[in-house]
Structure 1
Amino acid sequence: MISLDVTSLVKTIVAVLLAGAVLLVWWQRNQLIPLLTPHERAVRWLSLVGTRLLPFLIIYVILDQEPRSDVAFFYERAVPALEGKMVYRDFLSFHAPLFTYLTVLPLLIWNNARSIILLMAIMEFIILNATFQYARRRAKYDTGKALLRYVLYYLLPIPFIAIVLSSEEDIWFWGFGLLSLGLLAGGLKAETRAFAYRAGLLWGLSMIVIKFMLIVLIIPLFFLIRQRLWFVLGLLTIGLPTILILYGLMGDKFLMPIQHSSYPMAPNFASVLRPVLNSLFGTTTLTSLNWLGLLGTIGGGSWVAWRARHIGYERAFVPFFCFLFTLFMLLLPSSPGYYIFVQLAALTFFILDDQPDHWLRMAFLNVLLTVQPIIMIVYANNAQYTNLSMLSNPVFLADYVIQVIEVILLVWLTRLSYNRLMALQ
């Protein structure tokens, strides 16, 4: 096995090279678009093969590395689910009840943790192709512009690490968002009861497929959707039977994901303010800070959704989605940097402008979000900076400075998404 330090070094080098490739492709876009456009389908498939399947082959087949991070966690839960055991009652899970059983599907073909990575890569490919088609149809992108952003997404470091090394599912959140927009594709109007009810059904389903964390989006959506009562009815149509079934099968053990207490993560407001305001943070538990972060996200998101209610769901959803989840990253003390994966496809296609500084900042942020966890975990031993004197340690100082820069860039993305939304009024 490769040692952790070597693995971290390789991960950093790959992140820097991918970020450089993003900037190179962007700066050469006028020359590349005419070359890529005639081969649209081939470019999309080659993006999957070159940045996901080929690295998978090198890392897990040729080098025979064992999957780590969330891949191992998912596999440890999928094995008992494959044996017919029940989530929450028979084994631990922090995801929604159906998620673990979905990760069982690839094990039916290849009973190995590596198969879950392939599942996540395929799901990402499906969601990104749907994003590509939506950008062409609804956002009125020409094929070349949409294809360029497709390639840029696949070159970004965070999606590469999230899929190939960690097997993260967070892009599924955006996938459900696309499905909700797809409800309007057949001529259904966002102002109708039919749309509100179907949207409620869909988002209710998302809560039992991915994570209960989606409540931070679903509550604000109540204020964005016109026919709010029908939206709630749709949620209840899915939610009430699910709660009754889960309670009947396992009692209150189905509350396990809600009761889960996470570790403090970075970057967020709490991680950068803690050494400055330690008198406040030192007397407040992480659980309390997380609840405050959730309430702040839901409250702030609901206020913005209420302000944007006249824009309409179809036009407002994408910038609102990006605003909400960047706000979530900033306010929740247990939010890790890789959560940007939730909205990164939407940011790449719909929020970032054709300005070079946007792509420079995004590439830089991706590198920082790759490097900072390495410094924090490997070299700083997950230190929480409770006072400024700790920053006399060069490693701690480097970690903290990177966190501050990351938070500044996340604030920029939050403001950029908010401005996109408000500009639609």
Structure 2
Amino acid sequence: MTAPVRRAGVFAVLCTLSLSVPLINPRVAAVVAGVVLLGAYVITDGPLFDLLAYPGDYEDSRLYGLITFALAAVALGLMATATSMPVAVFVGTILLVGYGNLGEQLVRLQTDTAVVRVGSFCLAASTAAVAGQVLTHSLIGDAVAPALPLVVFLAASGAFLAALLRDILLPSDDPIIALSVGLLLWLLAELEPNIAVGEVAIALAITVAFGYASYALDTASIAGMLTGILLGLLTIVLGGYGWFAVLISFFAIGGLSTKFRYERKTELGVAEDNNGARGSGNVLGNAAIGVVAVLGYAASDAGLLPREPELFLFAFAGSIATAMSDTLSSEIGSVFERPRLITTLEPVDPGTDGGVTWQGELAGVVGAAVVAAIAYGFFPEVELLGAAIIVAAGIAGMTVDSLLGATLEGSVLGNQGVNFLATLSGALVSALLVLSFAVFG
């Protein structure tokens, strides 16, 4: 057994101590955490130090990895005992991180294939999180424990977020991962989505299948795949399959457009890196506002926000229409050699930020129309006027993206920041036009 596996095993055992919160008095649990922290501080060398130390811990002879993880666990434990965070969320989060790491390290002994390791982490993490939540509700005698589908949804969402963060952060960043997962699951638990039996299994099967297909087709990296799966799962459960159809249309068409005349783009120097595979930054830059809109819809539907849920639907569609318009405009327009800067209409080199072509603009309009047509087909509240609003929002967001590219990109904003602000503008335009025309008034 290798050192990483032994360390992961010990960390998993220590994570199991989180059960002391529902099993015994929280004050006693705090004493247990204090003992762990003290031990991590005083152990500076020897076999036990070697067992628990991350590579970076050797420089100062301190178990900083264990210390910071214990502090993160204490912070979440305090939230679970002093706020409305469910204790089951706290326990599930800690077990998720600990046993997910162990599962990945065990599989690493057999293969170093990235997608297999990520899959093993997600499977072990979600299983541990489900077990932790169920056991916690049993220990505290919770008569109104959430249904198993909700428990599985929380566990799977946390597992995918943890796997994503592990892919883009360092192995010693487990404290950040634990806090991020805990806060997400707390938010999702507060929304109390009404999930029918079997719906989570279907949602997981669909999102994982689409996510893996994007990875296998080289349209997404591991991080991009995990981001897409997580966003897709949240969209299906909190919104519905119509919402997912709108979202996946962007991922599918946008991903394929990256491959459009890829060799030509490479010759011009405008091709996406990594053979066109999009990473988490690109996915989040284009879809983060959409997912915020999904969360807003769920919160409004649950009575937590004083707004009509349909307003968030149009904001969602407007942001995705913008992402689709911008992506098609860039990927199709970039193969033409005579783009013009949107602010001055002067000819510029292909790939210049803010450069546009009439072919790209036309592709962008078509992209917005595709999103509007899908929304019109799935949502009765999106009538012809609503579809027109979505198209207008997509075009407006695409234009904002080009303007930001010509003025602020490179000096103030990066590409993902531009994408984020553009999709935000598309969402706002769509919502404001809906309010102006009172589409669902």
Q: Which has the higher contact order (CA 8 A, sep 6+)?
A: 1
Give the structure with higher Rg (CA). 2
TM-score, structure 2 as length reference: 0.27
Scaled by the length of structure 1, what TM-score is found? 0.28
